[in-house]
Chain A
């Protein structure tokens, strides 16, 4: 399998000192090449879950296994490197660094893995998302939809095993939403990448074969 969560717990410490539990997941699995959409309301812990999976946030307990490797027990540097090489990330907005052109943003995505950044591949990826004519545009000179497409290209840059998308279409118009979702799905399918996309939108969810609701398997939500 591509992703396996086992007994993952995460809670935050609130300013008043009490703990606020967010996640308590017994088991959650994404198979190889599977494309899963996860629905949850705002504040239900979707972003927290993605951060735990990618190793940005450490879980309080439990195991997170990606492509056969358990990441929770890794040293931070190793986990950072693992994230660079195995995980692609697309956020809701402001994915790109304003100082860098579209092409440079994609190259930046290649800069933290052990492989050498490949300019030709970066150009191919931008062509794949239909931006071959925007290589040297800076984020400010692009629409939000175009910026999200650059983010998709960048997420694919290191040929990851798993692509995580955090409401990638929440801030774009409908036409762009369709394009971006198609791009993500096609690219993942073609490159044998598993995808986990979180959203609060049923509209987005209905395009996927496997749709999960966070509250169905997250015990924390069940308690509320």
Chain B
């Protein structure tokens, strides 16, 4: 019988106490694993999502709000920018690509955020080095009334290719349901980003949804005010007349295939513009210069999404993560202490057993090793159980969390931190096992045997 077998026998002898202490370690490790996996998901979500473009241009206001709304599609948009602002920005020689976003509506079913955009959005990388993939017969929004939906939307709403759906202005509970319907022409492969929970519609169609185009006169006045120009009143009157004639027929009940009349640019607005700058080596520099120019223009702001996200990570998400890791570490340390208490309490009962083993020829180091092994076995056993339970929990919870929040969690997610978890547990076990093991080492055999 070797040291481990002997240690295992005494663990089994004190079944209940051993089980409870190992379970407390397991619990701590389970929580630790869950935190690590969730942490990995959050990390990916925050650090990789805003890629493929350098800047987000939007109305003046909170930079963080602009990023949250544009990238994560949470919260309300700040305001809108005139469409002309987008067309002019696109002409800037330093701009490689500019993608307009119109955000604000949600789907009637499921309340998923709707993003009106152009097909070229799908040419951008959604995380570094990764391009959007679509189902085999899917297309990236070629037609006016086309829609491409994220994987979580498809799953949760059970939407298929060819299905049609309506938009709601405002929230799903109180908002106004638009009559126009969009048709699903593509379903994105899962990306693990907020794109999974987004419904993309063709921007052209988005503007044609009644109520999305601003009343012409108001729109022209607003645009003029935005650019600091004066309105040509004569021209405005003729335009208004033309428009009234056109507006006679109603959209409701129409077959959209043949129904497409473009909205004048003046009546369009964008919520944000994703901007990719030209140039490779000087790109960072150009970006900063462009950003500050835009700020001086005093009409809009250009935000570096990575900066905002890393601010969010360090100041809020990062702190919560640190807190959770500290908390679970404390739970594991407390379980370590309970192992200490359990073994230490058993030592007085076991003095005689240790003395007998010594009389049978076991050395001091052998009995020391036996007691230390007990601590290590309990810690490791609990740790391995915890890892299994933790991953089991993730495996079971992943589809549930995905269905509820759209956060894509790999059920087999594994954090590299786990690799050091077991060695750390062995160190912890050695620390808490040391004092009882020392007691065994020092046992006075003769006097213990005569008791």
**Chain A interfacial positions (CB closer than 8 Å to B):** 47-48, 51, 54, 56-57, 76-77, 80-85, 87, 89, 91, 94-100, 104, 107-113, 117, 154, 158
Contact = CB atoms under 8 A, between A and B. Distances in A.
Given A94-B352, A98-B353, A108-B6, A56 B363 contact: no
Contact of A117 (B1, B363, B364): B1
Contacts of B449: 47, 51, 56, 91
Contact of B363 (A76, A98, A109): A76
B78 interface: no
A99 B10 contact: yes
B13 A81 contact: no
Among A76, A87, A98, A111: residue with most chain B CB under 10 A: A111
B393 to A, nearest CB: 34
Interface stretch (B171-179, B256-264, B354-362, B400-408): B354-362
A57 B446 contact: yes
Given A56-B358, A104-B1, 17 more contacts: A47-B446, A56-B446, A57-B446, A77-B363, A77-B365, A80-B364, A81-B361, A84-B362, A87-B361, A89-B360, A91-B359, A94-B352, A100-B9, A109-B360, A111-B1, A111-B2, A112-B363
Interface of B: 1-2, 6, 9-10, 12-13, 352-353, 356-366, 445-446, 449-450
B1 A107 contact: yes
B134 to A, nearest CB: 64
A108 B9 CA distance: 11
A111 B9 CA distance: 14
Q: Top 6 A-B pairs ranked by shortest CB distance?
A: A84-B361, A99-B13, A112-B361, A80-B363, A99-B9, A83-B361
A108 B1 contact: yes
Given A47-B449, A107-B1, A112-B366, A54 B359 contact: yes
Contacts of B362: 80, 84, 111-112
A51 B2 contact: no
A97 B361 contact: no
Main SS of chain B's interface residues? helix
A56 B366 contact: no
Contacts of B445: 51, 56-57
Contact of A47 (B2, B13, B360, B450): B450
B345 to A, nearest CB: 16
10 contacts: A51-B446, A83-B361, A85-B361, A99-B9, A99-B353, A107-B1, A108-B357, A111-B360, A112-B366, A117-B1
Contact of A56 (B1, B359, B365): B359
Contact of A81 (B10, B363, B446, B450): B363
A169 B107 CA distance: 89
A80 B6 CA distance: 18
Contacts of A81: 361, 363
Given A57-B446, A108-B6, A111-B2, A97 B359 contact: no
A199 to B, nearest CB: 16
Nearest to B2: A111
Contact of B353 (A82, A87, A97): A97
B39 to A, nearest CB: 42
A95 B355 CA distance: 10
A111 B369 CA distance: 14
Given A51-B446, A57-B446, A108-B1, A113 B353 contact: no
Contacts of A117: 1
A114 to B, nearest CB: 10
